[in-house]
Amino acid sequence: MEQVRVLEGGIVKIPEEFRRKLKLKDGDKAVFTEDSKGNIIIENASLYVLPTLECGFWGLGQKVGISDEHDIVKFVREFRKEGRE
């Protein structure tokens, strides 16, 4: 357990051990959530958002005809080509 002081404006220094466990570096963002029991959870925003986005896009690849890595590369190349035109 680590104890920290809350400074003006709610600023808190996350202890190094926890920053390391959360894979947080200077400039990274953290996400604060609450579980069903009222426990506060702190997560690395980039590690939290990606699975959330994956859930939101679940099944979309099949709908647009993407089934493997080659299809993704083809899609990205076509998208980039359209952006240059």
Q: Specify the pLDDT at position 53.
A: 67
Q: Specify the pLDDT at position 73.
A: 87
Cα 2 to Cα 14: distance, rounded to the nearest angstrom: 9
Q: Outline where DSSP puts E strands in the chain.
A: 30-34, 40-44
CA nearest neighbour of 16 among 4, 31, 33: 4
What H or E segment, with its residue span, contains residue 45? Answer: helix 45-56
Q: What's the whole-model pTM score?
A: 0.55
Q: Can you say whether the dihedral through the CA atoms of 14, 15, 16, 20 is positive or negative?
A: negative
Mean pLDDT of the chain: 86
pLDDT tens readout for residues 47-61: 877 666 666 677 777
Q: Is the pLDDT of residue 14 over 70?
A: yes
Quick one: DSSP state of residue 68?
S
